[in-house]
């Protein structure tokens, strides 16, 4: 690593660790030497990158730009070295993954033991949240995101397609009856997922085309797993992703409804990364592994 990339690496480590002392320990330097190194970078660039307070380090606007570009450059260097040494060195290092709660529980959690057994030199840190995070600001290697991606500078690779299914428990149906046509849902307790446009206007095929039925009920949540639990418990009818309800359907805890008229609306699931990082061995190994696992499961 040349002096410029070494300086970038040191600066990024300071930001990731949140202090000169913690980063200095990682880099084998003293805190004062690391502080002087950052000052040299600032003097050379002619801008202030950090605002130092007694409690924390705060990036300036120029610092945010510099750390973002530094990460991209360092990731590209790592990818280039990996391509040259491909076949002679196994993927290694820390892999930080951002994923939603439902996908983490139903898909990623069960798959991770096999992935870690296959790549013992990779360490995984899982950030589970339904909040869409900033990959650069949160120092995340990749995120798993569902639905159509908006305009973005991120690099995306498709994992698979999912679809939504309407389900209820046998307990609920025994007590309240089963809807025979879409309009019957208007007299049922429909459990709703919040935070997504039009997701609670359930679409159905009709002779006139697609009709969206506005449903409602006594329980709503932004967490699909909570809706799953409520549906299995007999609280109402829900429309959830197939990977969320797959196990419950297989075990008979849920049954599908209105299959002949419901429009399941397939939606994609992607791995997204910042430019350059998608070529790093640990990111590529994880993405290839997940695609293989999902294809085998079909």
Query: Could you tell me where the DSSP H helices lie in 85-190?
Result: 101-103, 109-118, 170-176
Q: What is the dihedral of CA 230, 236, 240, 244, to 10 degrees?
A: 30
Query: What pLDDT, on a 0 to 100 scale, did the predictor assign at position 285?
Result: 93
Whether the Cβ atoms of residue 265 and residue 203 lie closer than 8 Å to each other: yes
What digits encode the pLDDT tens for the residues 227-280?
A: 999 999 999 999 999 999 999 999 999 999 999 999 998 899 999 998 777 778
Q: What is the dihedral of CA 218, 223, 227, 228, to 10 degrees?
A: 180
Query: What pLDDT, on a 0 to 100 scale, did the predictor assign at position 1?
Result: 54
The C-alpha atoms of residue 178 and residue 171 are separated, in whole angstroms, by 11
Query: What pLDDT, on a 0 to 100 scale, did the predictor assign at position 176?
Result: 96
What digits encode the pLDDT tens for the residues 190-201?
A: 999 887 667 789
More confident residue, 99 or 53: 99
Query: What pLDDT, on a 0 to 100 scale, did the predictor assign at position 46?
Result: 92
More confident residue, 68 or 142: 142
The C-alpha atoms of residue 40 and residue 47 are separated, in whole angstroms, by 11
Kindly state the average pLDDT of the residues 174-184: 96
Q: What is the dihedral of CA 214, 215, 220, 222, to 10 degrees?
A: -40
Query: What pLDDT, on a 0 to 100 scale, did the predictor assign at position 89?
Result: 66
Query: What pLDDT, on a 0 to 100 scale, did the predictor assign at position 92?
Result: 84
Whether the Cβ atoms of residue 204 and residue 262 lie closer than 8 Å to each other: yes
Please name the residue that has the structure tokens 């990818």.
79
The C-alpha atoms of residue 190 and residue 259 are separated, in whole angstroms, by 16
Query: What pLDDT, on a 0 to 100 scale, did the predictor assign at position 289?
Result: 95
Determine how many CB atoms are found less than 10 A away from the CB of residue 189: 19
Half-sphere exposure of 121 (CA within 13 A, CB side): 9
Residue 12 banded pLDDT, cuts 50, 70, 90: confident
Residue 16 banded pLDDT, cuts 50, 70, 90: confident
Residue 70 banded pLDDT, cuts 50, 70, 90: confident
Half-sphere exposure of 288 (CA within 13 A, CB side): 11
Query: What pLDDT, on a 0 to 100 scale, did the predictor assign at position 140?
Result: 87
Q: Write down the mean pLDDT value for the chain.
A: 88
Please determine, for residue 87, whether its predicted confidence score (pLDDT) is greater than 70.
no
Query: What pLDDT, on a 0 to 100 scale, did the predictor assign at position 298?
Result: 63
The structural domains of the chain, ordered by start, are 3-85 (1.10.10.10), 93-159+268-297 (3.40.190.10), 162-266 (3.40.190.10)
Query: pTM score, two decimals?
Result: 0.71
């Amino acid at each position: 690593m040349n002096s410029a990339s070494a300086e970038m690496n040191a600066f990024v480590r300071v930001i990731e660790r949140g202090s000169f002392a913690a980063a200095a320990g990682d880099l084998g330097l003293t805190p004062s030497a690391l502080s002087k190194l950052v000052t040299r970078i600032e003097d050379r660039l002619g801008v202030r990158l950090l605002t130092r307070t007694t409690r924390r380090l705060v990036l300036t606007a120029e610092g945010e730009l510099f750390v973002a570009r530094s990460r991209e450059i360092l990731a590209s260097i790592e990818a280039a070295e990996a391509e040259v040494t491909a076949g002679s060195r196994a993927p290694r290092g820390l892999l930080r993954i951002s994923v939603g709660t439902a996908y983490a529980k139903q898909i990623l959690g069960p798959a991770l033991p096999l992935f870690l057994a296959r790549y013992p030199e990779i360490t995984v840190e899982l950030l589970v949240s339904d909040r869409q995070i900033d990959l650069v600001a949160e120092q995340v290697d990749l995120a798993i995101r569902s639905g159509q991606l908006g305009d973005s500078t991120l690099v995306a690779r498709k994992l698979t397609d999912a679809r939504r299914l309407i389900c209820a428990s046998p307990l609920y149906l025994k007590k309240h009856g089963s809807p025979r046509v879409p309009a019957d849902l208007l007299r049922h307790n429909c459990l709703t997922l919040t935070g997504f446009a039009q997701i609670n206007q359930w679409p159905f095929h009709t002779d006139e085309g697609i009709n969206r039925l506005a449903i409602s009920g006594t329980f709503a949540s932004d967490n699909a797993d909570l809706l799953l639990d409520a549906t299995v418990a007999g609280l109402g009818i829900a429309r959830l992703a197939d990977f969320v309800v797959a196990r419950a359907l297989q075990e008979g805890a849920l049954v599908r409804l209105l299959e002949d008229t419901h429009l399941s609306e397939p939606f994609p699931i992607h791995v997204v990364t910042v430019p350059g990082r998608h070529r790093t061995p640990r990111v590529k190994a994880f993405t290839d592994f997940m695609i293989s696992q999902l294809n085998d499961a079909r």
